[in-house]
């Protein structure tokens, strides 16, 4: 059963790569302001689920609905526009542009949406202050630590005020201390804006920051709330 009022929901997702099934009837839902951890062992299908929910990968079967509209029925141009406006992304290794300064990296999504440089960087700096990396504004990604770089990546993901933030193993490349701080800042910042967070992780200490856990195993999903 998919809960009513979900901002983003999926039902019966199936996806096969070659002869390997990645998703086999997976369901998912998330409400505005909710943090949901998607857990499971390596190869379980959790990252594929995230990519389908974000409109990056098209499922072979199943339904994905975002804000009342069927995501899987949208043309790629519309899904791409959503990824620039309504969706934000944080990846395991940050994926910052090495040639740009940190403030230019954070401002990049706004610049791609047509915001003028001065205004984009002013807004970016505000987010960098919230993520405690404003002093790195003129530094390039290769000049900062892993924890600092990941906080810059979180600021970049939130700079457009997305309605859904997709975080794929956001602390996977960090030590425990830096990982804890990144998660504290990420969830605090997201909740302050009302963004929903889809958090893919295999670490219980990271999942502890969520409101609810969904376990993916062998391409199938199980909402742990139903088993409490």
Looking at residue 1, what is its pLDDT?
47
How many residues belong to the chain?
228
Three-class SS state of 59: coil
Give the mean pLDDT of 73-101. 90
Looking at residue 72, what is its pLDDT?
80
CA–CA dist 116, 108 (Å, integer): 11
What does the pLDDT look like over 56-83, one tens digit per residue? 999 999 999 999 999 988 999 999 999 9
Give the mean pLDDT of 84-112. 92
What does the pLDDT look like over 123-148, one tens digit per residue? 999 999 998 999 999 999 999 999 89
Give the mean pLDDT of 21-30. 95
Q: How many CB atoms lie under 10 A from the CB of residue 116?
A: 10
Looking at residue 174, what is its pLDDT?
84
Give the CATH architecture of domain 1-86+164-170+196-228: 3-Layer(aba) Sandwich (3.40)
Looking at residue 190, what is its pLDDT?
87
Residue 6 confidence (pLDDT) above 70: yes
Going by pLDDT thresholds of 50, 70 and 90, the confidence category of residue 3 is low
161-181 in b/e burial notation, b at 16+ Cβ within 10 A? ebbbbbbbbbbbbbeeebbbb
Looking at residue 103, what is its pLDDT?
97
Task: Give percent of the chain with pLDDT exceeding 90.
Answer: 71
What does the pLDDT look like over 159-173, one tens digit per residue? 999 999 999 988 888
Going by pLDDT thresholds of 50, 70 and 90, the confidence category of residue 4 is low
């Amino acid at each position: 059963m998919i809960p009513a009022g979900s901002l983003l929901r999926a039902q019966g997702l199936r996806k096969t790569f070659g002869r390997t099934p990645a998703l086999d009837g997976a369901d998912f839902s998330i409400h505005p302001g909710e943090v949901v951890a998607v857990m499971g062992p390596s190869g379980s299908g959790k990252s594929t689920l995230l990519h389908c929910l974000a409109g990056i990968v098209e499922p072979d079967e199943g339904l994905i609905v975002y804000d009342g509209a069927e995501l899987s029925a949208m043309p790629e141009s519309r899904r791409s526009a959503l990824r620039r406006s309504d969706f934000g992304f944080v990846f395991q290794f940050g994926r910052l542009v090495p040639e740009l300064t940190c403030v230019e990296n954070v401002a990049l999504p706004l610049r791609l949406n047509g915001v003028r440089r001065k205004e984009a960087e002013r807004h970016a700096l505000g987010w960098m202050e919230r993520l405690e990396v404003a002093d790195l504004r003129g530094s390039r990604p290769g000049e900062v630590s892993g924890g600092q770089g990941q906080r810059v990546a979180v600021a970049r993901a939130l700079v457009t005020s997305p309605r859904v933030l997709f975080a794929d193993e956001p602390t996977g490349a960090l030590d425990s201390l830096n990982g804890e701080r990144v998660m504290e800042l990420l969830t605090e910042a997201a909740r302050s804006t009302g963004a929903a967070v889809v958090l893919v992780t295999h670490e219980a200490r990271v999942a502890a920051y969520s409101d609810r856990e969904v376990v993916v195993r062998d391409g199938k999903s199980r909402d742990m709330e139903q088993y409490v």
